[in-house]
Homo-oligomer: A and B are copies of this chain.
Amino acid sequence: MEQFCEGPAVFTYNSPNPHLGGVTQGGYSESLVVDEAFALRLQNRLDPAGAAPLLCAGITTYSPLRRWNVRRGQKVGVVGLGGLGHMAIKLASAFGARVVVFTTSTSKVDDAVRLGASEVVMSRDGTAVQKHQGSFDYVLDTVSAPHDVNALLALLKRNATLVGAPGSPHAVNATSLIHGRRSLAGSLIGGIRETQRMLDFCADRGITADVEEIPIQRINEAFDRVVRGDVKYRFVIDMSSLRKSA
């Protein structure tokens, strides 16, 4: 539960460092020193490049799926197919749920199915969305751009929960929540113990993120492509390339 620390948080990049003074320097280096309480074990059978995004996109989706007990026999919605969405599909499928993906992009249908989705719905097709109304045990909304959260709440069964963290305020209609006694909840990455459990689960099931590996010299190009949404589904920097630029 370190992520919910109520004291001032120390972030990884350029954050005031109360222990050593100065600011934190991030992790782009050949080695770094870390308190053992914050070290994680990575099993050998996990490809390090594919495992890297598990520490962010992986745990950010694993934690809410586990907390709301997503399991076999359930129908689960994943909204958005980016870095978080593609991990949510893999993990919810691995937990045994039937996964339906909501996306605005027809070009992502094949990929969603390859990643484990049973069905893909075009979010902007009102009729297609309507067909699924009141049928989901759980919906994980990974879209940060503004969108209508009420249409997604309407997908939920009675007593079910939508977890999401859009960047802009939700305009939530009261009726979206009171009919069917639905909940809208947030979730924030995951703690160290749960992250270790997630890594071990992924190692057992052979789950990694889909990544594109780059040398650090291509970081600016990769940044521009992230801004354009042109990445499947995470860039990973091969840190051995750091030596070449030194």
Contacts and interface: CB of A to CB of B under 8 A. Distances in A.
Interface of A: 1, 4, 6, 67, 134, 158, 161, 164-188
Contacts of A161: 183
B174 A172 contact: no
A183 B158 CA distance: 16
Nearest to A176: B186
Nearest to A188: B178
A182 B185 contact: yes
A6 B164 CA distance: 26
Nearest to A1: B158
B167 A169 contact: no
A215 B86 CA distance: 64
16 contacts: A4-B158, A4-B179, A6-B134, A161-B183, A164-B174, A165-B174, A168-B174, A169-B173, A171-B171, A172-B184, A175-B186, A177-B184, A179-B186, A181-B186, A182-B186, A183-B185
A181 B134 contact: no
A221 to B, nearest CB: 30
B174 A171 contact: no
A166 B174 CA distance: 6
A130 to B, nearest CB: 14
A134 B7 CA distance: 13
Contacts of A185: 177, 181-184
A6 B171 CA distance: 24
